[in-house]
Amino acid sequence: MKDMPDVNRTLEELPKDTPAKQPEPAAKDGRAANDGIDRRNFLSCMAWAGTGLLWTIAGGVPTSKLFAATAGAAGGSAAHAHAGSGFSFVQISDSHIGFNKAANQDVAGTLKLAIGKINDLSVRPDLLLHTGDVTQSSKPAEFDTAQQIIKNVKAGESFYVPGEHDTATDDGVLYRQRFGKGTVGNGWYSFEHKGVHFIGLNNVQQIDAMGKLGPEQLRWLKDDLGSLSASTPIVVFAHIPLWMVYPQWGWGTEDGAEALSYLKRFGSVTVLNGHIHQIVQKVEGNVAFHTATSTAFPQPAPGSAPHGGPMVVPAGKLESVLGITKVRYIARQSHLAIVDSSLAEKA
């Protein structure tokens, strides 16, 4: 991506122990080499949630501004969207209720902060999307705690997709009882909201090194999209990134390219994911990709550590690397505008 001085400045302002430039991932088994990603550019667009970015698309060109510098304007734009035929929604991810190690010993507390930040928004969002890993170990008490906290959110409706931590111990039975009622197969589904088609996918049920959707879900996805007009705005949300962010750490979906091929004919597609606990975003054609930060703990940037996993940050800095994502839709605009804000930022 070019002409993004705000992002570059953000990277320069990161703490000294956070690498501003990431190494280009090496190809592994041929999967990363031919995925169409300009890695040098997309890795330069990575930023911690503590900075916050407002994304808009004009004429197919993505631009960004620091959210802290534009919070008032963002609120005004959301109000304008609601006044017209648009709306806004929020995304949270990777709450990991039950986790209690050094990276964050109060994940319930930081989830409450995230819900409080949503409740402080000037315009109530229509929807909340949770992109998985609601819990750490898929235990009943963890699901209970998450539900008790999230039910306090001031948003119209809440929708979920599972993360691997939500399904690992019982194949997702408890998750589906709590959050997957009425879904298809192992927890995928779609719904319409004010002219936008939302699709929730499960790419953790068949996880093997990387995410996987599987033939049954891919057939369902193709059929679900088949009757839609190419002008229908699409929002896809799943836990693991559908594109190859960093396959060496399993940060991608093995059959994601097939799913994305079904979306190419649509004029506006937004793909929202979690799993990697940090912001990575790119635009490829009419598809905008965005991974969200966690409400629990950060992970290292790709290639900056021997492996991914919970990362301890200096005392007092945790809230600045956790956050929420706000998305607004305005009819007749080609893409959705995305705002990331950290839990440390004032409303």
Confidence band of 20 (pLDDT split at 50, 70, 90) = very low
pLDDT reading at 329 higher than 80: no
Is 50 exceeded by the pLDDT of residue 5?
no
Q: What angle do CA 334, 228, 36 make, to 5 degrees?
A: 55
| Three-class secondary structure of residue 282 per DSSP | strand
pLDDT in tens, 152-171: 999 999 999 999 999 989 99
* pLDDT at residue 46 in the model: 32
- Answer yes or no: pTM beyond 0.75: yes
pLDDT at 114 over 50: yes
- Checking if the pLDDT of 143 tops 80, the result is yes
Q: Provide the mean pLDDT of the chain.
A: 76
The strand pair at 280-284 and 269-273 is best described as: unpaired
Does residue 139 surpass a pLDDT of 60? yes
pLDDT digits (tens, 9 = 90+) for 35-52: 333 333 333 333 333 222
Return the residue matching tokens 């667009």: 45
Tens-place pLDDT, residues 56-111: 323 322 233 332 333 444 445 545 444 445 778 889 999 999 999 999 999 999 99
**Of 268 and 213, the one with more pLDDT:** 213
Calculate what percentage of the chain has a pLDDT beyond 70: 68
- The pLDDT value recorded for residue 322 is 78
Q: What span, in angstroms and rounded, lies between the C-alpha atoms of 247 and 250?
A: 5
CATH of 5-342, picked from 3.40.50.300, 3.20.20.80, 1.10.260.40, 3.60.21.10, is 3.60.21.10
Give pLDDT, residue 166: 96
Cα separation, 118 vs 128, whole angstroms: 9
The pLDDT of residue 25 is above 90: no
Beta strands in 226-268 (DSSP E): 234-237
Domain boundaries, the chain: 5-342
Bigger pLDDT: 114 vs 336 = 114
Q: 120 Cβ partners below 8 Å, 6+ apart?
A: 347
Check residue 48 and report its DSSP letter. -
pLDDT band of residue 315 (cuts 50, 70, 90) is confident
Radius of gyration of the CA atoms of the chain, in A: 18
The predicted model gives 285-295 an average pLDDT of: 89
CB atoms within 10 A of CB 66: 17
Kindly tell me the sign of the dihedral angle through the C-alpha atoms of 287, 39, 37, 94: negative
Identify which has the larger pLDDT, 132 or 10: 132
Q: What is the DSSP letter of 318?
A: G
